[in-house]
Amino acid sequence: MNNQIKLKVNQLTKSFPGLDQPVLNNISLTIKAAERIAITGVSGSGKSTLLQLMAGLEKPDSGKITILEKDLTSLKPNELCTLRNNNLGFVYQFHHLMPDFTALENMMMPFTIRGGLTKEHKAQLSLIVKKLALEKRINHYPHELSGGERQRVSIARAIITSPDIILADEPTGNLDNKNANKVFDIFLELAEELGTSIILVTHDILLAKKMSKIYNLTQGKIRVG
């Protein structure tokens, strides 16, 4: 693993109106290339909020997030879009697949947005489809797929561009344990092959234990757990 810092959170604070204390209170952490961290915490502890801030979808009250040496708050909207599309991948608890597009079209969406598919991308695509055992399902629509298949498609979509970092929010949260484990292990294998860093948000301690470092979020504070 090289030591390049991919993402840095520095003294981040975020409040929401109506809550008597900040959801995130002076949080700092660093993620290096190919590093895998888990952020755990009970429901409502601010895990998704932290991930939304890292994705540039919410703005902090104070503090700074740097991704690949770029300060998120100083980026123009189109620069933030480019960074999200080129360097980040996202997996959510509910798959967020587009219902009117086939599995393949959903997986290819990041390339469609970028405006084209190279030979290299095609090779990458078939490798990932094979690894996720989706060969026979690529022309199906999301509603024709099982929960596990849908989640595998959304993992394929997140990883297909070889992003620097994947932000995963309860990625297997709506699958049964056996499926969750299987899908998650394939995800980890793929990420390892591609050297992708992972930030996993989960309340599932067994999934968290598969990461190299576990943080716990409690009452706005983060600690190595």
Ligand X SMILES: Nc1ncnc2c1ncn2[C@@H]1O[C@H](COP(=O)(O)OP(=O)(O)O)[C@@H](O)[C@H]1O
Residues lying near ligand X in the complex (CB under 6 A): 16, 19, 23, 41, 43-49
Nearest to Mg ion of 73, 93 (CB atom): 93
| CB-based contacts of 217, cutoff 8 Å, min separation 6 | 24, 39, 40, 41, 45, 46, 47, 50
The CB-of-206 to ligand X minimum distance in angstroms stands at 18
The CB-of-217 to ligand X minimum distance in angstroms stands at 7
46 binds, among ligand X, Mg ion, none (CB under 5 to 8 A by kind): ligand X
Nearest to Mg ion of 51, 160 (CB atom): 51
Nearest to ligand X of 47, 210 (CB atom): 47
Nearest to ligand X of 36, 47 (CB atom): 47
The CB-of-28 to ligand X minimum distance in angstroms stands at 18
The CB-of-92 to Mg ion minimum distance in angstroms stands at 9
Helix axes 147-159, 119-131, angle to 10 degrees: 150
The CB-of-216 to ligand X minimum distance in angstroms stands at 11
The CB-of-172 to ligand X minimum distance in angstroms stands at 15
44 binds, among Mg ion, ligand X, none (CB under 5 to 8 A by kind): ligand X
Residues contacting Mg ion: total by CB under 5 A: 1
157 binds, among ligand X, Mg ion, none (CB under 5 to 8 A by kind): none
How far apart, in whole angstroms, are the C-alpha atoms of residue 120 and residue 160? 11
94 binds, among ligand X, Mg ion, none (CB under 5 to 8 A by kind): none
3-state secondary structure the chain: CCCCEEEEEEEEEECCCCCCCCCEEEEEEEEECCCEEEEECCCCCCHHHHHHHHCCCCCCCEEEEEECCEEHHHCCHHHHHHHHHHHEEEECCCCCCCCCCCHHHHHHHHHHHHCCCCHHHHHHHHHHHHHCCCHHHCCCCHHHCCHHHHHHHHHHHHHCCCCCEEEEECCCCCCCHHHHHHHHHHHHHHHHHHCCEEEEECCCHHHHCCCCEEEEEECCEEEEC
* Using rule CB under 5 A, residue 48 touches Mg ion: yes
Nearest to ligand X of 16, 118 (CB atom): 16
* Using rule CB under 5 A, residue 49 touches Mg ion: no
Residues that bind Mg ion (CB under 5 A): 48
